[in-house]
Structure 1
Amino acid sequence: MFRADLFKGKRILVTGGGTGLGKAMAGRLMELGAELHICGRREGVLKDTAAELAGRTGGRIFTWPCDIRVAAAVDEMIGRIWQDHGPLDSLVNNAAGNFIAKTEDLSPRGFDAIANIVLHGSFYVTQATGKRWIAAGRGGSVVSIVTTWVWTGSAFVIPSAMSKAGIAAMTQSLAVEWGPKGIRLNAIAPGPFPTEGMTKRLAPTEELERRMIGAIPMRRVGNLEELANLAAFLLADDVGYITGEVIAIDGGQWLNGAGGFGALTELSDADWQQIRTAIEATNAKDRAQRTV
């Protein structure tokens, strides 16, 4: 389905589109014919990314310096896109932040630093876009980037876990509320992907990175192209009956953690032999006791 003109004539906004996952998705959507709009707080980063992606894809891309933590700034940005370029067709809520910390050590400012971007910012952009679609009688599609923590929670990243769960709830709630208006909302829950944010803030040491990859059944991190293709798939009109879904793309990581024995995949053959011997000894002891 990834034909070159898949998004021809479509206008798409990617928040946090200057780096990482947002940049990867923006580039892929441009390759598929979309007119891209990216926003973020660092104007220089946005312009550098726009120049790079335009040179690589030959597509049209526009930058919007904006702090999505500020509702009024978001509404102004969306209004200017509508006025200067025309209505958006799709939105990708990607802007985020995260760090690992013991919850008892978190300050209110530290909590708000994540929640204001992830939860509040995503809502502000979604509402500002959605209300314009509704007023104009237009349909649209939203894809939000969450995490698999929306199903399980996660220790040591409480601000992100709480905020991403809120976005998942928004996705499912608005899929019902705005469905009759032709607006679809879905979410992607990525596992580890090789970005600067993941490496520096979530796996800052080689040992943490090793443990993280060891917990992934496919024994690798994701490729950015895989995530970008999933986002393109969910935004496409070709799958217009999909809404309210949260789809994991994590190499099986969250399923591995959901059970009680996923860590056993790291055991060697010698370890398993030792386990079998211990179990057989326990079974033999139980049989002997039953015959007494």
Structure 2
Amino acid sequence: MDLGAKLAGKRVLVTGASSGLGENFARLAARCGAKVMIAARRKARLEALAEELGRLGSPQVTVVEMDVASEASIDGAFAEIDASGDILDVVVNNAGIAGEGAALTLPTQDFDAVMATNVRGVWLVAVQAARRWKQARHVGSIINIASIQGERVMPGITPYSISKAAVVHMTKSLAVEWARYGIRVNAIEPGYIGTEMTDGMWESEQGRAMIQRIPMRRLGKPKSSTACCCSWRPMPAHG
């Protein structure tokens, strides 16, 4: 069965959908016929994306304002989803921040901000969804967007690497714990992708040197096909 058949009519929440990979995950899900709920802090961007997808014939796109660094914001967003009468089928836990700087001089609040968004936020969103699925005995799927930096490291983004390694291990642990409820938890570890969040880093001397070490000498590009395709598949984190 192809991805379009699997997603058609499903209710999919994508966090961090206002730009980069999140925006493209939302586009792909919408083009596959899913009912997409796009969530982020920048509501104006979400509304512009929803309008565009509506013009392209997407069945239903709902804007949900959510700051994953705020538990109250996540609670409010899920309450809004509950009020719509929908129960989610898929959560794409994509929201994240970069957090650059040398470890010896990095302010503690910068480290805390990366952990609050990239680790705690992923945890809180996953738990909110899983609690509802367990109570409703509803099969659901969580896809956590980790990074190749969860497996390897580079200087200057230590908090980010730590956070993504935590997401990888979180995914494995939750996959084992929640499998009995019919809840699947997987992770994707993208390589070096040029997005709005990382553009500044790739333009630096260190970033340009890293690109030269990539066999194809270029970054990946976030891109979704104009039609639904089978190229986007979660990589199992367990099993």
One fold, TM greater than 0.5?
yes
User: 1:153 Cα deviation (Å)?
Assistant: 3.3
Letter of the structure 2 residue corresponding to residue 10 of structure 1 = K
Aligned to 2:222: 224
Change in CA separation of 1:153 and 1:174 when aligned onto 2, cut-off 3 Å: same
Aligned to 2:167: 167
Aligned to 1:157: 157
**CA offsets, 1:124-158, max 9 Å, x none?**
10000011101111111111111112222332212
Supply the distance in 2 between the matched residues of 1:139 and 1:37 (Cα, whole angstroms).
Answer: 18
Aligned to 1:50: 50
Aligned to 1:204: 203
Supply the distance in 2 between the matched residues of 1:215 and 1:154 (Cα, whole angstroms).
Answer: 12
User: 1:57 Cα deviation (Å)?
Assistant: 4.3
Supply the distance in 2 between the matched residues of 1:162 and 1:233 (Cα, whole angstroms).
Answer: 24
Letter of the structure 2 residue corresponding to residue 221 of structure 1 = L
8 Å CA contact 2:4, 2:229 repeated in 1: no
* Contiguous gaps of at least 5 residues in structure 1: 235-241, 247-292
8 Å CA contact 1:103, 1:156 repeated in 2: yes
Supply the distance in 2 between the matched residues of 1:169 and 1:3 (Cα, whole angstroms).
Answer: 26
With CA pairs under 8 Å and 6+ residues apart, which has the higher RCO, 1 or 2?
Answer: 2
The residue matched to 1:219 in structure 2 has which SS?
coil
8 Å CA contact 1:12, 1:35 repeated in 2: yes
User: 1:208 Cα deviation (Å)?
Assistant: 3.9
8 Å CA contact 1:114, 1:159 repeated in 2: yes
8 Å CA contact 1:142, 1:186 repeated in 2: yes
Letter of the structure 1 residue corresponding to residue 223 of structure 2 = E
Residues 81-92 of structure 1 mapped to structure 2, 5 A cutoff: 81-92=81-92
8 Å CA contact 1:175, 1:243 repeated in 2: no
Query: How many residue pairs are counted as aligned between the two chains?
Result: 237
- Identity of aligned pairs, percent? 32
Stretch of structure 1 that moved more, 2-11 or 63-72 = 2-11
Change in CA separation of 1:53 and 1:226 when aligned onto 2, cut-off 3 Å: closer
**CA offsets, 1:247-267, max 9 Å, x none?**
xxxxxxxxxxxxxxxxxxxxx
Supply the distance in 1 between the matched residues of 2:61 and 2:224 (Cα, whole angstroms).
Answer: 22
**CA offsets, 1:177-234, max 9 Å, x none?**
001111111111111222111112x2133x4443222111233222323799678433
Residues 16-31 of structure 1 mapped to structure 2, 5 A cutoff: 16-31=16-31
Over the aligned positions, Cα root-mean-square deviation in angstroms equals 2.3
The residue matched to 2:17 in structure 1 has which SS?
coil
The residue matched to 1:6 in structure 2 has which SS?
helix
Supply the distance in 2 between the matched residues of 1:10 and 1:215 (Cα, whole angstroms).
Answer: 40
The residue matched to 1:233 in structure 2 has which SS?
coil
Change in CA separation of 1:103 and 1:57 when aligned onto 2, cut-off 3 Å: farther
User: 1:66 Cα deviation (Å)?
Assistant: 1.6
Change in CA separation of 1:226 and 1:56 when aligned onto 2, cut-off 3 Å: closer
TM-score by length of 2: 0.90
The residue matched to 2:49 in structure 1 has which SS?
helix
